Structure 1
Amino acid sequence: MKREITLEEYVAKLGKKSRWKALKTAYENASRGRIRLVDPDPPKTLGSYILRLDYSAWFWTLIILTIATAATVYASGIMPTLTPLRYLLGTVYVLFLPGYVLVEALYPGEDDLKPLERLALSIGLSLAVIPLIGLLLNYTPWGIRLDPLITALTLYNTAIGLVAAERKHKVVKKKLQAYPSP
């Protein structure tokens, strides 16, 4: 069994080239499966998974976009100059995020789908999920208005985002079991 080395040692071993070329070579070798890069300290709990940005940047981006959209929607009533930003964030919030979190929950593995497939499914699933949320809201006492719609979408995105985070954490744990540390 070969001794495992750190990425820093591997880049130094490639050595004579410039650091950039050595890193590029290491990336290409990892992409082609010639070397295997393993996190020496992967998150062991869901909480540590969510708190580590290298694993959960997508989740925090979702939360930030949700907060920014809600803030912009309500602030644009007071400051009309925010209306274009409201339209931009609202479009992403309605036409991308609901499908994106569902795709992340359904396909938690990094290699399950290609990026273009994730994008297309995210938009398509958003176009399917939003009418269903609207249909459910129609039968509530609050109806389909701005406040209930933002609340429902925020709850949906956050809940499905947490489900996706849990499933992605399980994928990380499986990889950890498949490749135990020395």
Structure 2
Amino acid sequence: MDSQGIRNAVRNALSTNQCASVSELVNEVANRLGVPRSVVAYEVMMMWKRGELELEGVPRNPVAYTFSIEGLWYWVSLSLIATSILVVTLISSGPLIYLRYGLGALMLLFMPGYALVEALYPRGDELSPLERLALSIGLSLAIVPLIGLVLNYTPWGIRFIPIVVSTNAVTIALLTIALVRKARIFEAGEERCQG
């Protein structure tokens, strides 16, 4: 079953029962079409993100987005950055050195590109998860050398601390840009529903 057919079935189910909870709606459409509940739930979420349907009790403003489950990705990313900075700077030997290697690789080979992909494609439905992963890795492999090139012409040079600080600063800046763009899209969903 294609996504357009699932969305049409969701609209039909809502036309007969507008007071249904999300769980009831997902169960009804999944049973009617014989598709997994997760597929229907994903389509309902994407319809809500695009403003095609309104869920009662969900405020739509930038602050609500930032501190909701929708904005959780931002806080998880910031926590991962903070953890990696602590681990990479404090652990230099012992059995935890592999944790340093893992988080360091994640911070250099994935996070800068991930932040840029989130900033460039804030809606969430433009790319498949595999495309997002591949772009994140590829863009990280492009961003990190550019940061190194810029650092080469600064008084700090290409040393450990300037690389850690600048790479994470760029990543945090891109994540914040992505958060702002996603919050604007989130807020615009309400205007489309009301207008």
Q: TM-score, normalised by structure 1?
A: 0.80
Kindly state the Cα deviation for residue 130 of structure 1 after the two structures are TM-superposed. 0.4
Structure 1: gaps of 5 or more residues: 18-23
> 75, 89, 112: which is aligned to 1:74?
89
Write the deviation string for residues 62-82 of structure 1: whole angstroms up to 9, x where unpaired: 1111111111112213x5322
35-44 or 120-129, larger mean C-alpha shift: 35-44
Write the deviation string for residues 12-57 of structure 1: whole angstroms up to 9, x where unpaired: 985xx9xxxxxx8654445567x95544323412x332222x1112
Report the equivalent of 1:4: 18
Give distance in 2, aligned partners of 1:108 and 1:42.
Answer: 19
Distance 1:73 1:26, change over 3 A: closer
Give distance in 2, aligned partners of 1:121 and 1:27.
Answer: 25
Distance 1:9 1:75, change over 3 A: closer
Would you say the 8 A contact 2:26–2:41 is kept in 1? no
> 29, 35, 49: which is aligned to 2:65?
49
Report the equivalent of 1:101: 115
Give distance in 2, aligned partners of 1:32 and 1:164.
Answer: 22
**1:140 equivalent in alignment to 2:154:** yes
Q: TM-score, normalised by structure 2?
A: 0.75
Give distance in 2, aligned partners of 1:4 and 1:95.
Answer: 46
> 171, 174, 182: which is aligned to 1:157?
171
Report the equivalent of 2:132: 118
Once superposed, what is the RMSD of the aligned Cα atoms? Answer: 2.8
Report the equivalent of 2:10: none
Kindly state the Cα deviation for residue 121 of structure 1 after the two structures are TM-superposed. 0.3
- Larger RCO (CA within 8 A; separation ≥ 6): 2
Would you say the 8 A contact 1:75–1:82 is kept in 2? no
Kindly state the Cα deviation for residue 109 of structure 1 after the two structures are TM-superposed. 0.7
Kindly state the Cα deviation for residue 146 of structure 1 after the two structures are TM-superposed. 1.0
Give distance in 2, aligned partners of 1:128 and 1:13.
Answer: 44
Distance 1:69 1:178, change over 3 A: same
Report the equivalent of 1:180: 194
Q: Percent identity?
A: 36
Distance 1:158 1:83, change over 3 A: same
DSSP-derived class of the 2:96 partner: helix
Give distance in 2, aligned partners of 1:92 and 1:12.
Answer: 36
Would you say the 8 A contact 1:108–1:167 is kept in 2? yes
Give distance in 1, aligned partners of 2:71 and 2:42.
Answer: 21
**Count of residues in correspondence between the two structures:** 169
